[in-house]
Every structure is written in C-alpha cells, then in structure tokens.
C-alpha cells in the first residue's frame, strides 16, 4: 500500500464523501467508484471495471497471520493451527479430519491435496503483500463514475 495517498470528494446520496483517488489509467480512461455498505471509499481511473476492482483489492490491508483461520472458514484459531501443523507434516488425511470437524468441506474428494479455499468475503491480492489475503467484506460494489450521477466536488 502506498503512503502517498490522494483524496478527493464526491457527492453520494446527498452527502459529500471523502474518497481515495487512484490513477492507474491515462487520459480518456473511465473513472470507477468502489465502496461497501457504508458508501464509496475509492475513485479509480482504470481501463475496465475488473481492473479497478483488482487495484482496489491490492490497496486493502492484508489479513494478519493470526486471523487467517477466519479467512479459511475454520471455527477457531486452534483448529486451523492443528490443521496446518498436520498438513505441513504430510499428514493430510488427519489434517482434513480436523478441517471437516471444523466445518470445512473439501472439493468433493475424501482427502484434498491442498489447503481449503478462502471463503466468501475474502480475496487474494495480485501483488501478494503480507499474507496476500484481504477481507473485502460481503457488500463490496463498484460502478462506473458518471459526473452527472455522483457530483464530483474536487481535490482536497
């Protein structure tokens, strides 16, 4: 994540909202606004909506190692740590017994050869800083920015 952040203001549902601006395009590229259930958080210039979303994910703080159990859907840190210990020792069958007891499902096989997938609400960063996993929440949204709809206010 960059320490040199640029902010601007836009009007959202009658209120002026401060958002981070990220310029990853060139003149003529569209602007996209991305946010969550509490409103917009970022205004991003990018080639496509999918590019803007990836940029947004890359700017999010990563999940700390001690909270990875939540990202993988385990019901406790202890069960996740036990799974990892057994799995890393090559005891995959025993590890998946722990995982299944913790509510984790494999991909339709009795003993998967890999770690469980991260659950909904989490994403992998393409730039893989820290753990490389971010909590994007369940209500993230993105839309193309239309000045007539959003009322761009200007730089801070």
Of residues 16 and 127, the one with the higher pLDDT is 16
- Rg of the chain (C-alpha set): 20
pLDDT for residue 103: 79
Domain assignments of the chain as residue spans, ordered by start: 6-61+136-155, 73-117
Residue 108, pLDDT above cutoff 50: no
Q: Are 10 and 151 in contact (CB under 8 A)?
A: yes
Helix axis angle for 77-88 and 92-101, nearest 10°, is 170
Of residues 146 and 73, the one with the higher pLDDT is 73
pLDDT for residue 109: 42
Q: Report the distance separating Cα 148 and Cα 139, nearest Å.
A: 24
pLDDT for residue 147: 66
How sure is the predictor about 3, in pLDDT bands with cuts at 50, 70 and 90? Answer: low
């Amino acid at each position: 994540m960059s320490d040199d952040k640029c902010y601007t203001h836009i009007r959202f549902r009658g209120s002026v909202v401060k958002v981070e601006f990220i310029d990853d395009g060139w003149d003529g590229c569209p602007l996209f606004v991305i946010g969550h259930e509490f409103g917009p958080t970022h205004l991003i210039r990018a080639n496509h909506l999918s590019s803007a979303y990836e940029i947004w994910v890359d700017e999010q703080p990563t999940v700390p190692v001690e909270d990875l159990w939540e990202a993988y859907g385990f019901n406790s840190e202890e069960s996740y740590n036990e799974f990892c210990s057994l799995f890393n020792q090559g005891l995959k069958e025993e590890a998946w017994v722990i995982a299944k007891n913790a509510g984790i499902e494999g991909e339709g096989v009795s003993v998967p050869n890999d770690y469980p997938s991260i659950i909904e609400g989490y994403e992998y960063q393409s730039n893989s800083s820290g753990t490389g996993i971010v909590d994007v929440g369940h209500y993230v949204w993105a839309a193309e920015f239309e000045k007539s709809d959003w009322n761009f206010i200007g730089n801070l």
